[in-house]
Amino acid sequence: MVEISSRLNGIGEYYFATKLREIDALNKAGHKVINLGIGSPDLPPHPSVIEALHQEASKESTHAYQSYKGSPLLRNAIADWYKKVYHVSVDPETEVLPLIGSKEGIMHICMTYLDKGDAALVPNPGYPTYSAAVKLSGGEVISYELKAEHHWHPVVDELQSMVHSHQQKGGKVKLLFLNYPHMPTGQLPDNALLQSIIHFAKAHDILIIHDNPYSFILNDNPISLLSLDKEKDTVVELNSLSKSHNMAGWRVGMIVASQQQINNIMRFKSNMDSGMFLPVQLAAAKALSLDSSWYAEVNKIYGERKLLACELLDEIGCSYDTNQVGMFLWANIPAAYSNGYMLSDELLNKSNVFITPGGIFGNAGDSYIRVSLCSKREVLQEAIERIKKMH
């Protein structure tokens, strides 16, 4: 039997991939599980976006291979969007790179910059793909812990110490992953702290990878980290239409960065994939042209769902910060449970409600759970009723 590569050592299948199979088996057995785990928007894109896809896909001329750099129409739409909503100027020709989903972009970036002995600073708790991509690319993960008492923000002095320690061992820290508004904690960014992190990264020649897909959900003041790094010499920003425009399955993301960083990443990306289907790109451009009323309409729905999610967490006995943004609620579990996995399993087994254990985002999340707001009000209400019957 052919052995798998050593790069997969310590890399398991993505948690939600295995959990969804378990939930599917329960549903086939008649359990009718309510899944409040994954942040996959259940709302549709704007009708004009779907119409644009239909019209463009009906044309005979739109089915060929596409440019590795993406359609100029999409790149211009991304640049216009960044100017309109983030007040950041970018060159659509040289500083924008469309992606087939920003998750793939994380891998592209790690493969572009990390060699054996290189390291990346990764938040704990944080998106599991950061650590997986670093390991798969041959790099070393240096986990920096985020704590509730620090408002889930990094402590720059701790980052300094980690970099110094790795340098003493002969290694080089090349990347720092940031994600604000933060997933899974829903914490908003602190501009003064972000500016200090940029200064820290500049001093140590570290590239900040800012993952920014949640900036519009229940948040009236979206920001781009590039607004604090106007020279674009320290920040590479990932963004996505998955959450902001209800287009998760469309796989439309982007990297916005300096021309040099875009060119570097293109050297890897162009050998791994091709340009996305042109009608998808043109429909994405249409989505990016929507005005503020689109975000207001979506956020009204998420706001109503958040109130029900709070009621659900109250029923479980969790504590949480009501000022969270994004499409999740992050909550501290009751003392009776040793960790979030225990509570999550109990809810699934006794009420057929699945809620994500916080430990999948790193051990700093062991005492937490995360509830998705991507279910209709009646579904959330049904989940509350089921949990009430547990007691």
Question: For residue 382, what is the domain's CATH number?
Answer: 3.90.1150.10
Structure tokens at 329: 């609620």
Residues 122 and 252 in one domain: yes
- Does the residue 54 lie in any domain? no
Residues 267 and 310 in one domain: no
- Does the residue 333 lie in any domain? yes
Using CA atoms, how far apart are residues 149 and 54, in angstroms rounded to an integer?
49
Residues 329 and 205 in one domain: no
- Indicate the pLDDT class of residue 99, thresholds 50, 70 and 90: very high
Q: What residue has token string 């547990």? A: 390
Residues 117 and 164 in one domain: yes
- Indicate the pLDDT class of residue 94, thresholds 50, 70 and 90: very high
Task: Specify the number of domains making up the chain.
Answer: 2
pLDDT of residue 20: 76
Q: Which residue has the higher pLDDT, 228 or 170?
A: 228
Residues 148 and 228 in one domain: yes
**Residues in Cβ contact with 187 at an 8 Å cutoff, skipping those fewer than 6 apart:** 151, 152, 153, 180, 181, 324
- Does the residue 49 lie in any domain? no
- Indicate the pLDDT class of residue 216, thresholds 50, 70 and 90: very high
Q: Which of 253, 288, 323 is the last residue of a domain?
A: 288
pLDDT of residue 354: 92
Residues 234 and 256 in one domain: yes
Quote the pTM value: 0.93
- Does the residue 51 lie in any domain? no
Residues 227 and 173 in one domain: yes
pLDDT of residue 19: 75
- Indicate the pLDDT class of residue 18, thresholds 50, 70 and 90: confident
Measured between alpha carbons, how far is residue 273 from residues 61, 250, 282 in Å?
21, 16, 19
Identify the bridge partners of residue 338 per DSSP, sorted by sequence position: none
**Three-state SS for 180?**
coil
- Does the residue 220 lie in any domain? yes
Residues 131 and 271 in one domain: yes
Measured between alpha carbons, how far is residue 176 from residues 33, 172, 258, 388 in Å?
38, 12, 17, 43
Residues 210 and 300 in one domain: no
Do 298 and 246 touch, CB atoms closer than 8 A?
Answer: yes
Using CA atoms, how far apart are residues 152 and 366, in angstroms rounded to an integer?
14
Sheet with 328-332: list strands edge to edge: 319-320, 328-332, 368-372, 356-357
Average pLDDT taken over every residue of the chain: 93
Residue 64 has pLDDT above 90, yes or no: no
Residues 80 and 152 in one domain: yes
Structure tokens at 45: 């894109």
The 8-class DSSP code of residue 366 comes to T
- Indicate the pLDDT class of residue 3, thresholds 50, 70 and 90: confident
Q: Lowest mean pLDDT of 13-17, 103-107, 233-237, 330-334, name the range.
A: 13-17
What is the arithmetic mean of pLDDT over 276-301? 96
Using CA atoms, how far apart are residues 147 and 353, in angstroms rounded to an integer?
28
Q: Which of 288, 304, 336 is the last residue of a domain?
A: 288
Phi, psi dihedral angles at 371 (to 5 degrees): -110, 130
Q: Lowest mean pLDDT of 10-24, 147-161, 225-239, 278-292, name the range.
A: 10-24
- Does the residue 50 lie in any domain? no
Using CA atoms, how far apart are residues 322 and 303, in angstroms rounded to an integer?
11
Q: Where are the beta strands (DSSP E) in the chain?
A: 34-35, 96-99, 118-124, 140-145, 172-178, 207-211, 235-240, 253-256, 319-320, 328-332, 353-354, 356-357, 368-372
Do 218 and 306 touch, CB atoms closer than 8 A?
Answer: yes
> In which domain, by residue range, is 82 found?
64-288
Find, among 23, 43, 21, the residue nearest to 373 by Cα. Answer: 43
**Three-state SS for 356?**
strand
Residues 238 and 310 in one domain: no
pLDDT of residue 274: 85
Using CA atoms, how far apart are residues 339 and 139, in angstroms rounded to an integer?
30
Residues 20 and 149 in one domain: no
Residue 245 has pLDDT above 90, yes or no: yes
- Indicate the pLDDT class of residue 13, thresholds 50, 70 and 90: low
pLDDT of residue 328: 96
What is the arithmetic mean of pLDDT over 264-282? 92
- Does the residue 58 lie in any domain? no
**Residues in Cβ contact with 336 at an 8 Å cutoff, skipping those fewer than 6 apart:** 317
Of the chain, the percentage scoring pLDDT greater than 70 comes to 98
- For the stretch 30-56, pLDDT in tens is 889 899 988 889 999 999 999 999 999
What is the arithmetic mean of pLDDT over 265-293? 94
What is the arithmetic mean of pLDDT over 149-172? 94
For the chain, helix, strand, coil in percent to 5 are 45, 15, 40
Do 136 and 104 touch, CB atoms closer than 8 A?
Answer: no
What is the arithmetic mean of pLDDT over 231-249? 95
Q: Which of 257, 288, 319 is the last residue of a domain?
A: 288
- Does the residue 239 lie in any domain? yes
Find, among 355, 305, 307, the residue nearest to 333 by Cα. Answer: 355
Do 297 and 320 touch, CB atoms closer than 8 A?
Answer: no
Question: For residue 132, what is the domain's CATH number?
Answer: 3.40.640.10
